[in-house]
A and B are shown apart, each in its own frame.
Chain A
Amino acid sequence: MAQKKENNNNQKTKYAIIVENVSKSFKLVYDKPFTLKERLVFWNKKTTRVGKHEVLKGVSLKIKPGETVALIGVNGSGKSTLLKLMTKIIYPTSGKIIINGKLTSLLELGAGFHPDFTGRENIYFNASIFGLTAAEIDKRVGDIIEFSELGSFIDNPVRTYSSGMYMRLAFSVAINVDAEILLIDEILAVGDQHFQEKCFAKLQELKKSGKTIVIVSHALSSIKDLCDRAVWIYNGEIRMDGKTDKVVEEYLKVCG
């Protein structure tokens, strides 16, 4: 019995991310009853007002530590939903998701930036959202500022930044958090050509250092360079899973 349990544990830690038969449906509410009055007055109409939209249908996926996986698919196929489920922002309707290791997500850059705080203060605040302590941030703050190339602007309030500067700072924070698993949603298009290349190089470097990376992207050429594996999601189901070149080729045949 004990051995069986141990085996089970081994099985689990062999993977960084396990997605087990996960389904997710969202309620479609046509006219949301937000207030108590509306709830009381329309209590009997409820059934007519609510629909269901199944975004993911029984998806299973196992990702090993150190793998770089791209999720591809047309808009609305459920890629971002899957990513959100992995970060625990939303929870599956059925099925299970197991994460082994510290996880950071870049679903939206600069989430939680406070416009009146300076760039430096925002580094501290944003990194603390990712679960870092003050001492850990102190160690990284130099790297983050250097990577963002903001120079002396770092001590100005973030509201005075251009959108490019804003994005650069946000990306620099997220990429320097030192998580074992990195989830990225469509952000390879940050900043100008020069900064994009820099981000790309940084991702390559993280990949070499053994991080697990999951990317949602439509930039197929950069995915081909970066990822070993691609998963094509179509209508909430996995249509193909394998070597990036093959999956992308097949994907282009159908959707190109």
Chain B
Amino acid sequence: MIKEMINNLYSYRQLLKSNVQKEIRGKYKGSFLGVLWSFVNPLLMTLVYAIVFPLILKNTEPHYVTYLVIGILPWNYFTTVISQGTTTILGNGGILKKVYFPREIFPISVNLSGVINFLISCLVMCLFLIFSGIGFSWLIIFFPLIVLTQFIIQQAIIFITSAIDVYVRDSEYIINFFVNMLFYATPILYSADMFAGSAVEWLIKINPMAVIINAYRDIFYYQTMPDIQMLLIILVVASILFYLGLRIFRKLEKGFAEEL
């Protein structure tokens, strides 16, 4: 099944490419700043949190803004892909009903355009690292592994949600709610240590996004060894989920043209 998907993607690579381009260019079409919004948006978000949050919480991080940026950028990537990915089949219904091509192209190109956007926005993160004086360490070599893990988790999720959304159109709202909730169960604004020993500690431990964001922080901010064991566990689980997601997608895609 995976092989079939790779073959499909290879023979339809031009479609995948133009779809990703359309997704990136089309997103900010008609706006003055265009792709610059990929930078400005997370920066504004960071600004709001950086102003508001220290007022509520006693902030212990020495470079809080840099700390925030490292959490917010991958989180932004996550939410964008989940919310756009969930509606991608529905939104492209017109063309799905008329022409055959591998349907998985749509959810995959959402994730691909997301990762490209994320990597571009990482330039902002680099600027913060440089100007805060934190700099870089050799641990940056783990960056691809973390991005890959995140990519696979997201792909698995949107394979499932994009297919289900065609049949039950409430899914997108339910999922948005869960994503919003997950935001607070993920150490983005605060540090995971704050919950050490408390009743909700396990929630952060099993939350894969928490592990991923902690890993980004470890390699960029704290410059310590990330929790490789936990990352690998998540990568394996994500891969299994990816396979299951693809199976569900394959099963449900047969009814897309009739349901849309």
A binds B: yes
By a beta-carbon cutoff of 8 Å, the part of chain A in contact with chain B is: 26-27, 34-37, 39, 84, 87-91, 103, 105, 107-108, 111-112, 114, 116, 124-125, 127-134, 137
Select the stretch in B48-56, B90-98, B199-207, B224-232 that faces chain A. Answer: B90-98
Interfacial chain B residues near A131, Cβ < 8 Å: 11-12, 14-15, 101
Interfacial chain A residues near B22, Cβ < 8 Å: 114, 125
User: Is B18 part of the binding interface, using a Cβ–Cβ cutoff of 8 Å?
Assistant: yes
Please list 13 pairs of residues, one from A and one from B, whose beta carbons are closer than 8 Å in the complex, sorted by A's number: A27-B258, A35-B169, A36-B168, A36-B174, A89-B99, A103-B100, A107-B99, A112-B94, A127-B14, A128-B12, A128-B14, A130-B99, A132-B14
User: Is B257 part of the binding interface, using a Cβ–Cβ cutoff of 8 Å?
Assistant: yes
The complex places the Cα of A89 from the Cα of B12 at a distance, in Å, of 16
Interface residues of B in 84-115 (CB under 8 A from A): 94-101
Contact indicator A134/B95 (Cβ below 8 Å): no
Count of chain B residues with Cβ under 8 Å from any Cβ of A?
Answer: 25
Question: In the complex, what's the smallest C-beta–C-beta distance from B164 to chain A, in angstroms?
Answer: 11
Interfacial chain B residues near A89, Cβ < 8 Å: 96-100, 257
Pick from A26, A107, A111: contact of B258, CB under 8 Å: A26
Contact indicator B13/A88 (Cβ below 8 Å): no
The complex places the Cα of A90 from the Cα of B170 at a distance, in Å, of 24
Pick from B100, B168, B258: contact of A87, CB under 8 Å: B100
Question: In the complex, what's the smallest C-beta–C-beta distance from A32 to chain B, in angstroms?
Answer: 9
Interfacial chain A residues near B99, Cβ < 8 Å: 87, 89, 105, 107, 111-112, 129-130
Contact indicator B14/A134 (Cβ below 8 Å): yes
Contact indicator A125/B94 (Cβ below 8 Å): no
Contact indicator B257/A111 (Cβ below 8 Å): no
Contact indicator A129/B95 (Cβ below 8 Å): yes
Question: In the complex, what's the smallest C-beta–C-beta distance from A150 to chain B, in angstroms?
Answer: 20
Question: In the complex, what's the smallest C-beta–C-beta distance from B67 to chain A, in angstroms?
Answer: 39
Pick from B98, B254, B258: contact of A112, CB under 8 Å: B98
